[in-house]
């Protein structure tokens, strides 16, 4: 029996990269998973890989109506929610002096506002023993050149977990942050390009990019009873990048 046997999970940004890897691991551990994302083609491909214990919902975490549809579908089919992996995120490279209003709006609407309402709207479906996992980033600790908007948004996510651990006192629901370092995802490649990927891989002590499955394994740990005495914490899976 898997460590998530019989559990119901939602993974935002679940069609590709870290989200898809986490959804796959959750299912392998016995969970039923709803993946949520903006690209229908990618969602369809993910469900085809993940199998009968996965459902896909199209939408954006920055759209309140889309989140309402997501949780209405979860309630209609499963009636409850045990695990929420608020993983959807975005980022782009612009140095100070060239930052635009559009970049700030897109980054914070997804990474901060989207995370807030992804979690808040899930709470009525969650009960004691529930686990909320937020995707942070090593950049939220270290910063990165031309990546200040993204880095600041992920620092905000780290603080949300600290604050929400207090707000959730007495509920039995845990909230923790999973902070990857350089990971070989589509988002990373789009954000920094092939040369940027090589540069990021070179700066951590392990001198490579993480495989999304390695981050998914850490998400499964935070989702499971193995982390039952953890809340308000940050788990860094960054090859040591932000640790030295």
Kindly list the catalytic residues.
150, 154
Q: Are 89 and 177 in contact (CB under 8 A)?
A: no
In 53-170, DSSP assigns E strands to 54-58, 83-86, 131-135
Element (H, E) at 77: helix 64-77
Rounded Cα–Cα distance for residues 49 and 177 (Å)? 27
Longest C-alpha distance within the chain, in Å? 54
What are the residues whose beta carbons fall under 8 Å from the beta carbon of 56, sequence distance 6 or more? 14, 15, 34, 35, 36, 37, 43, 44, 46, 47
Rounded Cα–Cα distance for residues 215 and 18 (Å)? 6
Q: Are 171 and 227 in contact (CB under 8 A)?
A: no
Helix/strand/coil (H, E, C) string of 204-219?
CCCCCCECHHHHHHHH
Rounded Cα–Cα distance for residues 113 and 142 (Å)? 22
Rounded Cα–Cα distance for residues 28 and 95 (Å)? 41
């Amino acid at each position: 029996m898997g460590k998530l046997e019989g559990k119901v999970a939602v993974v935002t940004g679940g069609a590709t990269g870290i989200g898809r890897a986490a959804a796959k691991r959750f299912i392998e551990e016995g969970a039923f998973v709803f993946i949520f994302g903006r690209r229908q083609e990618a969602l369809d491909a993910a469900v085809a890989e993940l199998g009968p214990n996965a459902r896909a919902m199209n939408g954006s975490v920055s759209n309140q109506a889309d989140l309402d549809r997501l949780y209405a579908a979860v309630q209609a089919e499963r009636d409850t929610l045990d695990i929420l992996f608020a993983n959807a995120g975005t980022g782009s490279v612009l140095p100070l002096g060239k930052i635009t209003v559009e970049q700030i709006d897109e980054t914070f609407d997804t990474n901060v506002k989207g995370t807030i309402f992804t979690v808040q709207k899930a709470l009525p479906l969650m009960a004691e023993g529930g686990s909320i996992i937020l995707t942070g980033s090593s950049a939220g600790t270290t910063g990165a050149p031309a990546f200040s908007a993204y880095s600041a948004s992920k620092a905000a996510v780290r603080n949300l977990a600290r604050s929400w651990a207090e707000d959730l006192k007495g509920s039995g629901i845990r909230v923790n942050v999973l902070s990857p370092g350089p990971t070989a995802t589509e988002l990373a490649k789009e954000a920094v390009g092939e040369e940027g990927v090589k540069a990021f891989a070179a700066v951590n002590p392990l001198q490579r990019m993480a495989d999304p499955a390695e981050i998914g394994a850490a998400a499964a740990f935070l989702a499971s009873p193995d982390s039952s005495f953890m809340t308000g914490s940050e788990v860094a899976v960054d090859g040591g990048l932000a640790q030295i």
